């Protein structure tokens, strides 16, 4: 049975790293990064709300198509809107896929430190710059962290405590959650 796996969590916590590791170990599974899809839209930086909504709809369609082919989809995305979480769950239900919602978690201070440290990684420099701009425009890291926690409150999800530098441990917990 195909799975739709949501890796939710604050910026910089390791969602993309774990998603990449998952797809590397599961051939033809899809790491569906909404930020990548959004970046394919012309003028997305000057139309933040519209481009975000359009990218979300495109991602839901891509997930639906991939799940219908019988393949797994992993979505590494900061999602604080319960409505979008419900839309992902609905796509899984309509395609008869298993839906697993995971929250990658660390303290706000530790997560923020990791987020800002990415600016020194050449693979993340541009993404980090854009993400930092969006986060500041939305009230800052702490406000977004708190928004995430409020958005997932009461949901049926698995929490993975992400300890800095322990990618193997976080990945093992991810695999246990999606295998159980």
Fold of 3-179: Rossmann fold (3.40.50)
pLDDT confidence of residue 3? 98
What is the 3-state secondary structure of the chain?
CCEEEEEECCCCCCHHHHHHHHHHHCCCCEECCHHHHHHCCCCHHHCHHHHHHHHHHHHHHHHHHHHHCCCCEEEECCCCCHHHHHHHHHHHHHCCCEEEEEEEECCHHHHHHHHHHHHHCCCCHHHHHHHHHHHHHCCCHHHHHHHHHHHHCCCCCEEEECCCCCHHHHHHHHHHHHHC
Residue 15: predicted pLDDT: 92
Q: Which pTM does this prediction carry?
A: 0.87
Q: What is the mean pLDDT of each run of 10 residues along the chain (180 residues)?
A: 96 92 97 90 88 94 98 94 94 98 90 76 65 77 86 91 91 94
């Amino acid at each position: 049975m195909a799975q739709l796996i949501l890796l939710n969590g604050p910026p910089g916590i390791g969602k993309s790293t774990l998603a990449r590791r998952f797809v590397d170990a599961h051939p033809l599974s899809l790491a569906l990064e909404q930020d990548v899809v959004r970046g394919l839209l012309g003028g997305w930086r000057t139309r933040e709300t519209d481009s975000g909504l359009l990218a979300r709809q495109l991602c839901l369609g891509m997930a639906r198509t991939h799940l219908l082919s019988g393949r797994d989809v992993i979505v590494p995305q900061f999602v604080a809107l319960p409505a979008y979480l419900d839309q992902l769950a609905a796509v899984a239900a309509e395609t008869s896929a298993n839906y697993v919602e995971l929250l990658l978690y660390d303290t706000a201070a530790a997560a923020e430190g990791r987020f800002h440290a990415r600016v020194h990684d050449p693979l993340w420099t541009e993404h980090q710059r854009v993400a930092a701009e969006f986060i500041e425009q939305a009230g800052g890291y702490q406000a977004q962290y708190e928004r995430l926690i409020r958005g997932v409150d009461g949901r049926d999800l698995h929490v993975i405590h992400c300890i800095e530098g322990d990618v193997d441990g976080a990945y093992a917990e991810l695999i246990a959650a999606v295998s159980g």
